[in-house]
Amino acid sequence: MKCPEHIQEYLRDNKNTGIEYEFGVACALMGSTQFDNFLSSIVDLNTKKNIILDVCAATKEYLQPLLDLHTCSDEYYISLGATQDDSLGASDVLVCCDTEILFGVSVKFANKNSWNPSSKHFIDKAKKEDLKDKYQNIYLPQYIKEMKEVHGECKIKIIDDSRNKGQTKVVNNWYRQNSKVNDEFIDLLRDEVIKEWGLKTEHEKEEIMAKGFQIVSPVPFYTVVINNNLSCEINEPKMVFSVNDITVEKHKKSSVVFKENGEIIVKLQVKFNNGFITRTNKETGTTFVEGEVIFKKGDPFGSWNFGI
């Protein structure tokens, strides 16, 4: 498959979450000529330059064996063109030789999440509408009542931004607070996931597993998980051959686990995308005000975590 060249201007402007780890892995795979060019044209201009270089240095020894499996008459070309083209599958970084892709690398930082499916893959439309109605008319009023009783009226507060050193962010005193009502609603979702998995055909189950394990890819690829201490785990995609052997059960507060022969192969985190209710800055016909804060309804159906 032909290797796409990345566009320097696009990479310079790319602010996607975690892009610094993709850049670091790309640097670790590059030969000296491409690295020097990438350093001066991209890395030196990036606000997270130090992280990129730390990841590069820490992952090089882990990634070298992947290069050793192949031979190339010239220096490998490392492409970040996959960040601009979803048709290339799960890969974030492509290793190329003589204009052809040899393999790809999917980069994860401190998690093994491989897919962010919406609820439509696990819950049918009719049940989703029923759950939305329960959220609106039963659980949302209960949640607001619980927050007021436990934390008082909703007020604005400013906290340090843990992701951006030296910066602050505006939140509120209900922000990221534990909630029994939230847990009860998530439990309803989990019950439905488990129930409907048992009703799916073998083909439907295989389609879900193929998407989650990213089995369908136009190029062979490895998954590189970078841990907080910058050590690495490198895995080849796992193929689940018999979906009928998979059992499904609840796990901890918010997950459903899929097991094969008793071993957990998937943790599906069932969650609200940005909290049970989400702070917003502008009042509309669908927002509501609690204390000092404008809220909109939360979204428990839009983006879950499929971790392998």
Q: What is the pLDDT of residues 107-155, one digit of tens each?
A: 988 877 778 899 999 999 999 999 999 999 999 999 999 999 999 999 9
Domain residue spans in the chain? Answer: 8-109, 119-214+240-307
- Is pLDDT above 70 for 239? no
The fraction of the chain above a pLDDT of 70, given in percent, is 96
Q: What is the DSSP string of 123-144?
A: S-HHHHHHHHHHIIIIIHHHHH
pLDDT confidence band for 218 (50 / 70 / 90): confident
Residue 66: closest CA among 37, 97, 35: 97
- Is pLDDT above 90 for 23? yes
Instruction: Return the top range by mean pLDDT from 58-67, 139-148, 216-225.
Output: 139-148
Average pLDDT over residues 26-52: 96
Round the average pLDDT of the chain to a whole number and report it: 91
Average pLDDT over residues 27-47: 96
The fraction of the chain above a pLDDT of 90, given in percent, is 68
- Is pLDDT above 70 for 238? no
Average pLDDT over residues 193-207: 95
Give the pLDDT of residue 254.
96
Give the pLDDT of residue 170.
86
- Between CA 236 and CA 222 the distance in angstroms is 5
Average pLDDT over residues 21-31: 97
The HSE-up count of residue 63 (CA atoms within 13 Å, CB side) is: 31
pTM for the whole structure: 0.69
Which residues are CB-neighbours of 47 under 8 A, at least 6 positions away?
none
Question: Phi and psi of 209, rounded to 5°?
Answer: -65, -35
- Per the model's pLDDT, the better-predicted residue between 180 and 84 turns out to be 180
- Between CA 300 and CA 189 the distance in angstroms is 9
- Between CA 85 and CA 92 the distance in angstroms is 10
